Structure 1
Amino acid sequence: MEVAAQLAHKALAALLQLAAQPFYYIGILFVLLQYRRQIVLERQLFSTRLHSMLDTAWKTVLWGIAAGMAASLAMAFVGATVPFGVVIWLWVLSALLAVVRIRFVCLAYAVGLLGVLQAIVRAVPSLTELEPVGRAIAPLEQMPVSSMIALVGLLHLLESFFVYKQGADMAMPVFVEGKRGKAIGGYQLQQFWPVPLLLLVPTGGGAAGAALPWTPLLGGDIWSAGWTFAALPVMLGFADLTTTLLPAAKAKRSASRLAAYSIAVLALAALVEWRPGFALAASAAVVVLHEALAFWSKREETSLPPYYVHGEQGLKILGVLPDSPAKEMGLLPGEIIHKANGVRIRTKEQLHEALSANGAFCKLEVINTDGHSKFVQRALFAGEHHLLGVLLAPDEKAMYVLEQRNVHWFTAARRRKQTVPAGGESGRTVSS
């Protein structure tokens, strides 16, 4: 009972510490800004909003809180500790790395870099004698590398669950330039989760009330000198691009690879705890393996044929607008519009003509993602034949593609270098 009271008291103190820290609120603000950035881009490209910023943001924040509590419980038994001075380093490095590439906000890069910096500090001890450099790098000298790497592994295990469940929720259809210079369709997937952690850490200041009823896996005898909770807000993020798979399928594939990565990282943490001399190699491996995931995904995308292109069967649907006739009829991304009002469809112009021929009714024959035909129909009101609500894959007349900056991240529409016949559509708004 005494231990439970101690745990509750110190957990409450850590929660108050978290509430007083700016880092968690900065993380939430970062999430809001990134989602707002995407929605602004959606309006520029499609003249409508495909996602709700606030709806998605509060869900990711709540998921982050729930996951943070679960991860805190797991790490209390693992013994992953992060001194406060290292927390500052983590946030500063993550912010600087995110400026270079948004996916570098992932904790793996900051932790790997801190492990390398620790090796440099220990190899050049004179650095600690320089002021104010000495005070700034002092936390790195005694940083528990095995605990830091274990933290990366556990957080990526959480991230793999998040990506599996929510990775496709904010998927945005995009036009990109294919290997042969042709415009092809695809999806940008991106999600962020601010996660508040309460880490059980040793105090090193003598006995602190009742002893823990368990011994954490990492740390050894340091837990006999007292313990407390420390608040550590972290940011989990996922960004990817697919032109070869449906968003949900891409998210599930990425989730399975992230889970494998987390298991490998946890094994590296155990190795460093057993053999501290491998700390530098393990820190570098955390970054290298993470980069290998990105390289693997990119290579897979370039080696497979594009999925969102038109073919002989008809027009490939890239996306469906919310609250549109197409949404009500149950049309889905990846399906093919084969016939409209009994007319075989091969071009966007043919689709418009077929819908205009009967402005009061729409009947479509659609080939679903399993290759089977289905028939959908709906009465159309005045003008709706121009606003069916499907985003079609680009064709040879598409004049704009999204410019890719920082791998898997798009920021602006770029005009394609080609001649388009007068009256040809721009490709900026691709709803039909």
Structure 2
Amino acid sequence: MNVIPELLGSLGNAVLHLLTQPYYYISLLFIALYYRWQVALERKLVHVKLHSWGKETWRTIWTGLVMGLLVSLAAILLGVSLSGTAVVILWIVSLLLLLVRVRYLCFAYSIGLLGIIQFMISFVPGAWESGGAGEVIRAVRELDMPALLALAALLHLAEALLVRLQGAKLASPLFLEGKRGKVVGGYQLQAFWPLPLFLLIPAGAGIGDLPWHPLLGGGLGLVSLPVIIGFGEMTQSMLPRRKAARTSGRLLLYSIVLLALSLLAAWWSPLTLLAALAAVTLHEGLAWYSALEERTSSPFFVHPQHGLKVLAVLPGSPAQELGILPGEVLLKVNGTLLTRKAQLHEALRMNPAFCKLEVQNAEGESKYMQRAIYDGDHHQLGIILAPETDEDLTIQACPASIYGIVGMKTGARSKQRQSQEASASAFPARNTNAEGS
């Protein structure tokens, strides 16, 4: 049997199918809108943009393509199979979850939820057998949940790798309201990648058998499945690269546990419900533990008694050329000891053609730098300082919503506006249309 030509022909048909279905284009549009929202947020808070939404969109598209091919290869070797009906069901559930919260656009939630629903309807085998609802119920019953859960595990393995490689590069600086109402610096790490997947068609659908014995079912035919993977974190207690590395490690552990449970479920079906519950609860547990970790940790991006803490450095700026890094402390500029943010600009203007800096690195050691200042250079050398404790503009430490991304609502609020909202909530207007007794 000529296996290779048959697989290549099936792959060509799957690629054409991918290019003709709307789900992949929906994912690209969503990602472009998200990065446009991220740039608007950066302009609102720090008055400059650290990222280009066009470049970030292109980078996530091509890295998602590469990772999608790798995940597809792993899924084919395992024998993960998926029908065309399952593709539609997965995307409908994912889009509905997206309307609830952006971070729910994750196959761990949609597949886990479908596994729980499949278990529940197994107790009423004769219900809803007629009409459109009956077709949907039958389609859910026929889903190969162990294979889908194994796919979710592989996607999170890919996510762990992408977070480790790119998570810190996609971080945006934030001004957050910390403990006791003081404003602190922080970062939002959030990114999405579109992955075009090519998966096996279930065995017995009029196609040939695989020439090897996979752990899960499947035949020689291929079907396309465009998916979106992504992560979202906020940190005010550590540098972005450390947060990304920690998140990546936890996602890697999660994917290994979920893959093991899904393979066991393929061997003994009663474990399917356990694997579906683990897909949802363990994923939520990771988000909960990360939030708890941030709440119980001291803020990192706050100014010390002497010097100014660097929150971020603009790409291609003089500060980046000098080697200044986020988290370091500016001690002196042109001989002036810094204790307030306004002093940085004043000290740089003391010598408009040249600057000398003393910077304290993460190890507490001082390093000395000097550089000429040219026309057109950023007025603060491209250094974004941590906020003052009484900074006027902050952002709510909550995940972005699809409505905010599409409507370009950044969630940034001034303290004056927050005070007005608090007063309004404390003294609500009387409802003149309420019914009397």
Give the TM-score taking structure 2 as reference length.
0.89
User: For the residues of structure 2 that align with 1:385 and 1:59, how far apart are their CA atoms?
Assistant: 27
Q: Matches of 1:164 and 1:157 in 2, distance apart?
A: 11
Aligned to 1:214: 212
Question: What amino acid is aligned across from residue 16 of structure 2 in structure 1?
Answer: L
| CA deviation after TM superposition for structure 1 residue 101, in Å | 1.3
Q: CA deviation at 1:120?
A: 2.2
Are 1:336 and 2:329 an aligned pair? Answer: yes
Q: CA RMSD in A?
A: 2.2
Task: Answer yes or no: is the 8 Å Cα contact 1:64–1:193 preserved in 2.
Answer: yes
Moved more, 93-102 or 410-419: 410-419
Deviation at 1:331, TM superposition (A): 1.6
The answer to whether 1:227 aligns with 2:230 is no
For 1:147 and 1:313, the matched residues in 2 are separated by 57
Describe the shift of the 1:9–1:314 C-alpha distance in structure 2 as closer, same or farther (beyond 3 A): same
Q: Does residue 90 in structure 1 map to residue 83 in structure 2?
A: no
Aligned partner of 1:216: which letter? Answer: P
Counterpart-to-counterpart distance in 2, 1:346 and 1:55? 37
Counterpart-to-counterpart distance in 2, 1:4 and 1:322:
46
Deviation of 1:385 after TM superposition, in Å, equals 7.9
User: What SS is found at the alignment partner of 2:181?
Assistant: coil
Letter matched to residue 327 of structure 1: Q
Distance in 2, matches of 1:154 and 1:281, equals 18
3-state secondary structure, aligned to 1:375:
strand
The 5-angstrom pairing of residues 8-407 of structure 1 reads 8-206=8-206, 208=207, 211-219=209-217, 223=218, 227-381=220-374, 386-406=379-399
**CA distance in 2 between partners of 1:235 and 1:215 (Å):** 29
Could you say which residue in structure 1 is the equivalent of 2:432?
none
Distance 1:167 1:328 in 2: 22
**Residues 336, 368 of structure 1: 8 Å contact kept:** yes
SS in 1 for 2:391: coil
CA contact (8 A) 1:160 1:259 kept: yes
Q: Secondary structure at the match of 1:404?
A: coil
Deviation digits for residues 47-69 of structure 1 (CA, Å, limit 9, x no counterpart) = 22211112111111111111111
2:410 aligned partner: 411
Residue of structure 1 equivalent to 2:429: none
- How far does the alpha carbon of each residue in 1:219-268 deviate from its partner, in whole angstroms, 9 at most, with x for none? 3xxx5xx5311111111111111111111111111101100000000111
Residue 370 to residue 229, structure 1, CA distance change in 2 (3 Å): same
Q: Counterparts of 2:91 and 2:286 in 1: how far apart (Å)?
A: 23
Deviates more, 1:33-42 or 1:257-266: 33-42
Deviations 1:362-409 (A, max 9, x none): 111001122221111122246868443211111133111102343799
Are 1:359 and 1:385, in contact at CA under 8 Å, matched by a contact in 2? Answer: no
Aligned equivalents of 1:255, 1:43: Cα separation in 2:
28
Equivalent position amino acid for 1:307 in 2: F
Instruction: Mark the CA change 1:205 to 1:360 in structure 2 (over 3 Å): closer, same or farther.
Output: closer
Letter in 1 for 2:410: T
Tell me, in whole angstroms, the C-alpha distance in 2 between the residues paired with 1:278 and 1:417: 54
Counterpart CA distance in 2 for 1:203 and 1:214 is: 13
Whole-angstrom CA distance in 1 between matches of 2:127 and 2:64: 38
8 Å Cα contact 1:83-1:139 kept in structure 2: no
Cα distance in 2 for residues equivalent to 1:348 and 1:96: 45
- What is the DSSP-based 3-state SS (H/G/I as helix, E as strand, rest coil) of the residue aligned with 2:131? coil
- 1:281, distance to aligned residue in structure 2 (A): 2.5
Is the CA contact 2:353–2:373 (under 8 Å) kept in the aligned structure 1? yes
**CA offsets per residue over residues 29-48 of structure 1, 9 Å max, x none?**
11111001111121222222
Residue 217 of structure 1 aligns to which amino acid in structure 2?
L
**In structure 2, do the counterparts of structure 1 residues 230 and 360 end up closer, same or farther at CA, with 3 Å as the change threshold?**
same
Q: Distance in 2 between matches of 1:136 and 1:100?
A: 22
**How much does 1:166 deviate?**
0.6
Structure 2: stretches of 5+ with no match in the other structure: 419-437
Instruction: Look up the equivalent residue of 1:347 and give its one-letter code.
Output: R
